[in-house]
Amino acid sequence: MKIIPLNEGAFAVDKQKNFVSIDSEDSVQNTLKMAVCPFLIVLENDLILLDAGLGFETDGIQNIKLLLQKNGYEPEQITKVLLSHLHKDHADGLGYFKDGKFIQNFANATLYIQEKELEFALSQKENPSFNQEVLEQIKDLPNIEWLAAEEGQISENITYLRTGGHSPFHQAFWVGDETETVFYGADNLPQKGYLKFHLAYKTDDDGKKAMELREIWEKTAKEKHWTVLFYHDIKNNVVTF
């Protein structure tokens, strides 16, 4: 198994969920700062993308595509895209608009999304965390496998759990082979620093549940030596416990 962080960089984020690129964690004061880092997991028969990034572009090409190419892969090679939830910093990299038409970045992949997550996201018309223009396109894509169960097996290497916490239908993923278990708690465990303090964050839909899940995951990660992926950590994206 190979894990490749596709780090789009560090961003300052305001209350309206505008993401502005910054040079470092210390370059902007008194505002929320985070990385945006999808992950590519390379297995023998699968190229798995964990979340899809912001959808930002450089010279007219989406950053998620540039990052894949930098690491020797093309978007067309991705076989599975696992979506933890549909906030725009996790989902907007699924595609882009050209001449009014939505073009998928990962048309050859199967997209795995919690069915109720999309229903919830589409109901949040005034919530700046969601990009309704993109969501309206996502709901009709032919290559989605809608996950309705609370937990399940996607393949022999991938399991999922609908956790709630950060968002009502947020989900976590485990990817494993004979040598390693990779855990992705997404925005219930977005940064390694969240493990230092047992706090319920008001920015979560259910902060208490997210806090309780972190405590469980940290204990198990240490016992079983999981490799944990941190989507929003500026310094530590991949940590083996």
| DSSP string across 103-170 | EES-TTSEEEEEHHHHHHHHH-TT-TTS-HHHHHHHTT-TTEEEE-SSEEEEETTEEEEE--SSSTT-
Would you mind telling me the total number of residues written for the chain in this entry? 241
For 208, other C-beta atoms within 10 Å of its C-beta total: 12
Number of domains in the chain: 1
Report the percent of the chain where pLDDT is more than 90. 93
- CA atoms of 136 and 5, how far apart (whole Å): 28
What average pLDDT is seen over the chain? 95
Tell me the mean pLDDT in the region 104-115: 98
pLDDT at residue 31, rounded to an integer = 78
Q: Residue 25 pLDDT > 70, yes or no?
A: no
The CATH number for 200's domain is 3.60.15.10
Tell me the mean pLDDT in the region 69-77: 98
pTM listed for this prediction: 0.96
DSSP state of 95: E
Report phi then psi at 14, rounded to 5. -95, -175
Q: Residue 132 sits in which domain range?
A: 2-240
Tell me the mean pLDDT in the region 234-241: 97
- CA atoms of 131 and 228, how far apart (whole Å): 28
The Cα-based distances of 91 to 81, 95, 100, 177, 221 in angstroms read 10, 9, 19, 26, 27
pLDDT at residue 26, rounded to an integer = 62
